[in-house]
Structure 1
């Protein structure tokens, strides 16, 4: 059973797998651990990952990258518009206000959503994992930025479902990093001791995340997180690119910013320069480093602000922090390291693999959630990054609301006569242009027997994926039952209990009437008649939700379309491989018939084959450029009819000497054994003479057969097929040894053992 974790990055992805021996990072088909988050479209198929990034400059408008930033956002979102302005491919607004990515695919213009593009990448990652592990991959944990909203998380889940992945959990990248750090630590303080507080700074390609985590033995608790969702390594690349673009314009009168292809190449080169500057591995002009520090001052100020924000939110003193761990590629920038040391008064540590920490943490979480693995118990307590409130209308039509999070579970009680709707939204509007998370309608609510309001309990929570959900809604009905079974009946608890077993009752002013009196004891009416015992029965109510996610029908449609594209890619790859096989065979045989195969082909046959190879090559680049797979397979068969006999002659000439030598060795050993038998050697004196004669006859026949065939081989020209093959010689050896060995290797009989009485009789005559 596969247990994998995926770090879905803006620039590249990592896949980690949990094995019995630990966590490993999977390499892709280019032997690289990082797979670029890039999808390219062509006339026949899609190109995914490394190959897509390699052809970005030649197919810019049809190569999609940085699409992680487009997930779950509307087209008119200001953050999305800022992102779109730097993209080379075309982005449009769809009728539902969502984003559409327009590319030319299969010789026609097609539009895909960011969810579909992400699903394509996940399909590639799934295939990479399956090829590396040799088994099907299904269950997965995917890392997401801690600042991802409900809509972004749902979009990611839809993409994973489209790719055929079962997401056990969307794990915050900050939490994944902390888990990868803490689960292997053997020296963490016990639960009764003061926790070890560690700061994690993760600066990647497009965002900065900072977290403070308290560790105790077997558990971690996230104390605070802070993030800048629009600050990463690419912003420093952009500053460098702008610097050189201005310099080129002033010196060479070339404006790289007006040519998308030139700008892309410049960005690629300055990224390499930034990495060299960060590694300090080569001598660089000192003015470049100074200029970068000056240019990036606003960015560095934002980095410092985010660090300070996290330190303030965790309410810890600097002395309470044990260490600062850095992950993410952009934390290698010296200026960022200096800022971290300045804010936390500690030298940053690189205990974790800076690039693979998130993927490894996700794989660990997947192993913890999987029943197939036994993992050390480790408790994870995460935080809710955004406060959420519920809004509803009471029975008078007035709007009421309540902030229900950051707590992880809440039980709300409403008094209603009819179905009602709750609206969940983020408290701070700046979190998202559209703060509404979803609408949840509690159905099947009706007035009580006397027309009174019914008591409805609604449980809301943030689940493992970080999604807000209305987990359940229930109606408490009173029922009279004198001697009725207690099954499915319960008296009302004094406190509502949440799923984690703690009392956490919050009653809202959802109605204008107080709850009806609850009678737990038998009562007598005016006539002295006994009244049945009032019991409470809980009835689960259906909930209809409207959230920013695809419905089952839409998801099935996405899955079907992705499957069709996967099949089309597979057929096209097979066609290309068949074509390449023909081309490779042409080049291989043509070069060898004048080299190592030259003496095994006649001059006339060489000229004939050479013409066939040349004609095939010309055909490949003309009418054979775009044929079906079977056409190439047939062409390869035709070529092999001419080329393989030549290769076979060479192989036989090389293999036959060794085969004859092996056969002659067996004949020689048998001859030596028969000679020793004739000399009354004690080793063979138990053998039957008639059987030995049979062996001697076989030796003579086999020697004659060898001499005859060796002579034939010697007289046969190299370019003519031999009358005998190496496999035939090996077969003759097997037949010979099957006859000879049982006779000559027959074991001596064991000496008879006599009893004492028999021995005396034997000696006495």
Structure 2
């Protein structure tokens, strides 16, 4: 079973896997642990990762990157409309209204959804993981920014499903970093002590996230998060690009923004320059050859100028930190309580960014984690914790709800809409709550984020949830409906179940059937997954029994109760006098979930099928290119060898014929053979090998034949010495049989005659003709001689037994380990006699992950 963590970044991706020795970030086929988040579409196949990155300039209209920010967004979203103009590739509207990417693929115009494009990238990362682990990969944990909303998270889960992955958890990037930091710490405070407070700051290419976390031994709790989704390394790149566009416009009279290819090249060079300025404060050059209209351009910049230019961007660094500390103040936390400030992300290397963060917290920043790989490693650790394949140190993770979630519904009591905040900001997650409604008919709930100004997303709606098949009680009163709402392990909100509590009065003293009473109370904290629905039903009945004396109001009302605290209500009740008992029946109600921008099941299945077809097409194209490359490689290799080491093994006439055929094949490859089916290349290679293979075989035979002759000669000499030793009656061989020695003598003589004959024949032949004997025949003859003679000459001398005066076994007990077997049998019998099998491990032990 695979244990894999995927960090799907805006610019780059990382794959971490769990092995018995711990967590390892694996390299792709280019031996690089960093895979560009880039997909390129061609006339025959797709290129993903590093291969796509190399086409950013040459195939810019069909090479997409930076698509992570389009997840779960409508095409009409103002954010999408604002970005459209700055993109080299085209965006289009999907039939569902979401954003798609328009490209030319297989010489047709296609529009791919963001889920499909992300699935392509995940497919590549999955291949990288499978290549490293040497086994199929299915289970994984995928990282997402902590500021992602419900629709964006569902979009990423769908993308993982399209790629054939089972996403065990969508993990917030800052939480993954915190896990990678905390699980290795041996000196964390005990659970009952004051926790250690650590701030994590992640500044990536396109997002800025911060979180404050509390650590105890074996425990991590995210207290608060704050972010700026539009601040990152790309903003510094933008400032540099803008600066050089202006400079080249004045200096060379070039309008760079009119040429997408030139703009892409400038972005690449500015990114390199930014990285160089992080390490050097001197003037640094920027040179691009044949930039536009065959003009070479150059410029220079230093760190001081760069920081002055980016003053506005740098001014935005502190705002999320202020926000974070405001939220932390709810826990009575101050800057002095912070143990460490850990920074990760590519843009965290910019000196001025580090300086501002350090100045805000008034302490030196910690860089103990790998700035690029920490998220992937945290995800792999979480996957190992969730997977049964690895035994990992106990470590519980409590995340936080990024934005407050409310429900609203139609209420007859208030003649309009009623609403209620179900999960406040920074509420623990995953978490379930049970809401109680009194209704006579089906009703709907609308979930939404109640702070739209904080939301980096235009639509605060999460979705509509319809509770179906609600009917009134037999008495005509409103029925009690228990609705269970949940923020799950992915951070996605849902109405996970609903049940109707039917009340049936019974005679005094009659014992009601108490089928639902056996439910156990929730454990404190209720950090479980969606496996507690029966508990919710049991708790619902307890409430019903308590409240049966009350008459439910005619008007609809709602009660909220976190699941973990209900059991206490029952236990606090004093013993009551005997009264009419109430029997309740809990009926499960169907819930219709309609989340905002949810990908329809039929579309999801279609995308899964399309991804499979595209993977197959990529595979066929790779095989076709490989077949073509084999032909090309054979042409060049053979042409060199014909005038090199194979020269002595081919006649003049044959060499001329083969050279001409090689030249014709080379011309064909670059003309008619440029784009042919795979079988054409296979046939062409077979045609060349028909002439070339015999020549190569003659060379190989010539190389290996002397050694084969030599090995056989050594065997013959060895057996001749044994025969001679027997004849001179040497003690070592005097136990051998005369007939068998004669047989060896005869076989050795025959082998010597055959060997001399073949060596003489071969010495008379030219190297350009077929050999008199092949190496394989010589080796077979040598083996035949060995198998016939060796058993005879190595026959051991018979042992001489000395007469025994007494039987040691009878007087001194068992000998030669005879006692051991019965003893073992006795031990086994002990296990059986008690009715229990002996305690042996029937399954393979799970590998321990070495976290120390």
Cα-to-partner distance string for 1:160-191 (whole Å, 9 max, x where unaligned): 11111111110111111101111111111101
Q: Check whether the contact 1:62–1:89 (CA below 8 A) recurs between aligned residues.
A: yes
Task: After TM superposition, give the deviation of residue 249 of structure 1 in Å.
Answer: 2.3
Name structure 2 gaps, 5 residues minimum.
286-299, 528-534, 559-575, 807-852
Task: After TM superposition, give the deviation of residue 405 of structure 1 in Å.
Answer: 1.1
Q: 1:111 to 1:371 in 2, by over 3 A?
A: same
Name the counterpart of 1:715. Answer: 764
Root-mean-square deviation (CA, aligned residues, Å) is 2.6
Q: 1:221 to 1:467 in 2, by over 3 A?
A: same
Separation in 2, partners of 1:381, 1:336: 29
Q: What SS does the corresponding residue of 1:624 show, helix, strand or coil? A: helix
Q: 1:514 to 1:748 in 2, by over 3 A?
A: closer
Q: 1:245 to 1:709 in 2, by over 3 A?
A: same
Task: After TM superposition, give the deviation of residue 493 of structure 1 in Å.
Answer: 12
Separation in 1, partners of 2:526, 2:364: 42
| Equivalent of residue 680 in structure 1, options 706, 719, 729 | 729
Q: Check whether the contact 2:282–2:303 (CA below 8 A) recurs between aligned residues.
A: no
Task: After TM superposition, give the deviation of residue 228 of structure 1 in Å.
Answer: 0.8
Separation in 1, partners of 2:746, 2:320: 95
Name the counterpart of 2:51. Answer: 51
Name the counterpart of 1:571. Answer: 620
Name the counterpart of 2:474. Answer: 449
Separation in 1, partners of 2:134, 2:72: 33
**1:743-762, aligned counterparts within 5 Å?**
743-754=792-803
Bigger mean CA offset, 450-459 vs 432-441: 450-459
Question: Are residues 1:75 and 2:93 paired?
Answer: no
Q: 1:491 to 1:276 in 2, by over 3 A?
A: closer
Separation in 1, partners of 2:557, 2:189: 50
Name the counterpart of 2:565. Answer: none
Q: What SS does the corresponding residue of 1:186 show, helix, strand or coil? A: coil
| Equivalent of residue 428 in structure 1, options 438, 451, 457 | 451
Separation in 1, partners of 2:763, 2:490: 77
Q: What SS does the corresponding residue of 1:404 show, helix, strand or coil? A: strand
Name the counterpart of 2:302. Answer: 288
Q: Check whether the contact 2:39–2:121 (CA below 8 A) recurs between aligned residues.
A: yes
Q: 1:465 to 1:243 in 2, by over 3 A?
A: same
Q: What SS does the corresponding residue of 1:707 show, helix, strand or coil? A: helix
Q: 1:513 to 1:83 in 2, by over 3 A?
A: closer
Question: Are residues 1:339 and 2:356 paired?
Answer: yes
Name the counterpart of 2:382. Answer: 365
Task: After TM superposition, give the deviation of residue 203 of structure 1 in Å.
Answer: 0.8
Task: After TM superposition, give the deviation of residue 340 of structure 1 in Å.
Answer: 1.6
Q: 1:489 to 1:177 in 2, by over 3 A?
A: closer
Cα-to-partner distance string for 1:488-530 (whole Å, 9 max, x where unaligned): 355999999995699999x9x9972689xxxx9876xxxxxxx
Question: Are residues 1:375 and 2:392 paired?
Answer: yes
Task: After TM superposition, give the deviation of residue 637 of structure 1 in Å.
Answer: 1.3
Separation in 2, partners of 1:67, 1:86: 13
Question: Are residues 1:538 and 2:558 paired?
Answer: no
Q: What SS does the corresponding residue of 2:675 show, helix, strand or coil? A: coil
Name the counterpart of 1:400. Answer: 418
Task: After TM superposition, give the deviation of residue 419 of structure 1 in Å.
Answer: 0.6
Count matched residues. Answer: 743
Separation in 2, partners of 1:415, 1:454: 5
User: Normalised by the size of structure 1, how large is the TM-score?
Assistant: 0.93
Name the counterpart of 2:438. Answer: 415
Question: Are residues 1:465 and 2:490 paired?
Answer: yes
Cα-to-partner distance string for 1:533-585 (whole Å, 9 max, x where unaligned): 32222222111111121222221111111111111121122112111111111
Name the counterpart of 1:201. Answer: 201
**1:31-50, aligned counterparts within 5 Å?**
31-50=31-50
Task: After TM superposition, give the deviation of residue 485 of structure 1 in Å.
Answer: 5.6
Name the counterpart of 2:406. Answer: 389
Name structure 1 gaps, 5 residues minimum.
524-531, 758-765
Q: What SS does the corresponding residue of 2:697 show, helix, strand or coil? A: helix
Q: Check whether the contact 1:141–1:167 (CA below 8 A) recurs between aligned residues.
A: yes
Name the counterpart of 1:528. Answer: none
Q: Check whether the contact 1:579–1:629 (CA below 8 A) recurs between aligned residues.
A: yes
| Equivalent of residue 326 in structure 1, options 343, 347, 355 | 343
Q: 1:282 to 1:135 in 2, by over 3 A?
A: farther
Q: Check whether the contact 1:74–1:98 (CA below 8 A) recurs between aligned residues.
A: yes
Cα-to-partner distance string for 1:306-346 (whole Å, 9 max, x where unaligned): 22221222122222111111111111111111112101122
Task: After TM superposition, give the deviation of residue 433 of structure 1 in Å.
Answer: 0.9
Separation in 1, partners of 2:97, 2:603: 16
Q: 1:63 to 1:755 in 2, by over 3 A?
A: closer
Name the counterpart of 2:569. Answer: none
Separation in 2, partners of 1:459, 1:696: 93
Task: After TM superposition, give the deviation of residue 659 of structure 1 in Å.
Answer: 0.9
Bigger mean CA offset, 156-165 vs 128-137: 128-137
Q: What SS does the corresponding residue of 2:339 show, helix, strand or coil? A: strand
Q: Check whether the contact 2:512–2:583 (CA below 8 A) recurs between aligned residues.
A: no
Q: 1:755 to 1:177 in 2, by over 3 A?
A: closer
Name the counterpart of 1:302. Answer: 316
Q: 1:248 to 1:198 in 2, by over 3 A?
A: same
**1:256-267, aligned counterparts within 5 Å?**
256-267=256-267
Cα-to-partner distance string for 1:202-236 (whole Å, 9 max, x where unaligned): 11111111111111100011111111101111111
| Equivalent of residue 622 in structure 1, options 657, 661, 671 | 671
Bigger mean CA offset, 447-456 vs 599-608: 447-456
Bigger mean CA offset, 267-276 vs 306-315: 306-315
Name the counterpart of 1:219. Answer: 219
Separation in 1, partners of 2:282, 2:434: 61
Name the counterpart of 1:62. Answer: 62
Task: After TM superposition, give the deviation of residue 85 of structure 1 in Å.
Answer: 2.5
Separation in 2, partners of 1:379, 1:263: 47
